[in-house]
Amino acid sequence: MTEKNAHAPAETLAAELEAAFRNRADLYRLMLDELTADLGAGRAEALMVRIIEKRGREVAAAAFAKFGPNDARAIGEAFLAVSPDGGRMYPTDVERGDHRIAFKVKRCPLKDAWTDAGVGEEKLATLCRIAGAFDRGLFEATGVRFDNVTWVPGHGSGCCHIALTDRDTGAATKT
């Protein structure tokens, strides 16, 4: 097998993973449209946030069970260690401290899919808030202090900014 052929399966899997995340984005977008038509914008967003946050808590129960409320940096490192496609799917700038870790997500396949679908800025911000509910459920379930700033118009080309701080270290610092 040549060097080029040896990487083909990994490249194929990476493309398939990207497509799966974009499919998730499309499902969020379509569910929001349908729920908004039936329930109104506020109730639709609240329902999706509640469901997606609940899923984040379910994942946290398995992924972060060994961590406690003063393990913010370890939780953040564990999260980054399992980032899809070795971190290439969600590249981040990371700031580390003794009792804190913060990351700025530079690219998100969900946001990319919504932008490619022609979603306007207001709806894009709503979808980012909805998707950010997963992170809130995931990290708040651990007991650490969690701060998340999701994309809004004027936020730039990146995506969310997440900060985790040990519970006993005072207030989380916005990123």
29: nearest Cα among 51, 16, 44, 14: 44
- Domain contains 44: yes
What's the sign of the alpha-carbon dihedral 105, 107, 113, 117? positive
**What total number of domains does the chain contain?**
1
Identify any residues that bridge with 162 across adjacent strands, giving them in sequence order. Answer: 103, 148
Answer yes or no: is pLDDT of 39 > 50: yes
- Beta-carbon contacts of residue 55 (< 8 Å; ≥ 6 apart): 134, 137
Compute the 3-state secondary structure of the chain and give helix, strand, coil in percent, each to the nearest 5: 60, 15, 25
Q: What is the pLDDT of residue 1?
A: 47
* Residue 174 within a domain: no
By residue range, what is the domain housing residue 105? 3-169
Chain mean position to CA 21: 11
Give the separation between CA 83 and CA 77, rounded to whole angstroms.
10
Q: Is residue 21 part of a domain?
A: yes
pTM: 0.89
Residue 175 counted as domain residue: no
pLDDT at 158: 87
Q: What is the CATH number of the domain that holds 162?
A: 3.30.1380
